[in-house]
């Protein structure tokens, strides 16, 4: 499935973020999310299982767009694209990294946590971005403050978001989706509890 950058924000109200230890779990996990009504998953490159997990999901699971997360260095974007990622996510952006993302050509959500970082991305023609780490950087009031001076920008906040505060973010006019690891907790992954993941996905899908 092909997506454009701004469309990444529309894939799902909640983007599950996962660091997998075992790529063998990727397909079962993605299918559980789909059954729960979630149309995307961000598999981070924090673990060696990340790239092979992306490859497996892209090849074997329909109805889900798999993104590659924690892109922090030039070169990773091309490898994620080669594995079949539909979009890329970074926690922040240096000029070198952003140039690399532009070269690869996949839609991306680059992380910002200051007004100037958001403006620098906007200067590059990017209007959809990630706000990270959301809670630690000022949370809902901070994002709300950005909507006045930067009305053309939309955000996917992640970091410290869960079932208790996701709705507050999703209610903001400049928020398209929220990201977080709460839908795929380590204890459910360790137990292979796909029914548990499906239930959390269903609750998350109903948040908006
Ligand atoms: O490294 C990246 O590119 C990321 O995507 C960061 C993650 O979105 C957050 O680390 C999720 O934060 P929690 O939901 O608080 O666990």
The 8-class DSSP code of residue 144 comes to H
Pocket flag, ligand 1, residue 92 (CB < 6 Å): no
Instruction: Count how many domains the chain has.
Output: 1
Per-residue pLDDT averaged across 102-129, rounded? 96
Q: Is the pLDDT of residue 68 over 50?
A: yes
Pocket flag, ligand 1, residue 13 (CB < 6 Å): no
Q: Find the CATH number of the domain harbouring 48.
A: 3.20.20.70
What's the pLDDT at 201? Answer: 98
What's the pLDDT at 6? Answer: 80
Q: Is the pLDDT of residue 194 over 70?
A: yes
ipTM attached to this prediction: 0.93
Pocket flag, ligand 1, residue 40 (CB < 6 Å): no
User: Nearest residue CA, atom 9 of ligand 1?
Assistant: 159
Per-residue pLDDT averaged across 177-202, rounded? 97
Q: Which residue has the higher pLDDT, 6 or 179?
A: 179
Domain that holds residue 119: 5-205
Q: Residue 42 catalytic? A: yes
From the list 130, 186, 198, 203, the catalytic residue is 130
Give this prediction's pTM. 0.96
Pocket test for ligand 1, best of 130, 180, 185 (most atoms within 8 A of CB): 180
Q: Which tens digit of pLDDT belongs to each residue from 44-63?
A: 999 999 999 999 999 999 99
What's the pLDDT at 1? Answer: 47
């Amino acid at each position: 499935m092909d997506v454009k950058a701004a469309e990444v924000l529309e894939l799902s109200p909640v983007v599950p973020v996962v660091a997998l230890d075992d790529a063998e779990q990727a397909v079962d996990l993605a299918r559980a999310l789909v059954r729960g009504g979630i149309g995307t998953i961000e598999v981070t490159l924090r673990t060696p299982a990340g790239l092979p997990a992306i490859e497996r999901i892209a090849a074997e699971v329909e109805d889900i767009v798999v993104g590659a997360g924690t892109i922090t260095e030039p070169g990773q974007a091309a490898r994620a694209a080669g594995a079949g990622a539909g979009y890329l996510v970074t926690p922040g952006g240096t000029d070198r990294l952003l140039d690399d993302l532009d070269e690869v050509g996949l839609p991306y959500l680059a992380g910002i946590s200051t007004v100037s970082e958001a403006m620098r991305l906007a200067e590059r023609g990017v209007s959809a971005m990630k706000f990270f780490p959301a809670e630690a950087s000022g949370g809902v009031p901070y994002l709300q403050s950005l909507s006045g001076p930067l009305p053309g920008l939309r955000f996917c906040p992640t970091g410290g978001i869960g079932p208790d505060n996701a709705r507050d973010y999703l209610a903001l006019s400049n928020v398209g989706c929220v990201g977080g690891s709460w839908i795929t907790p380590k204890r459910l992954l360790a137990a292979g509890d796909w029914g548990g993941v499906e239930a959390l996905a269903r609750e998350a899908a109903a948040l908006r």
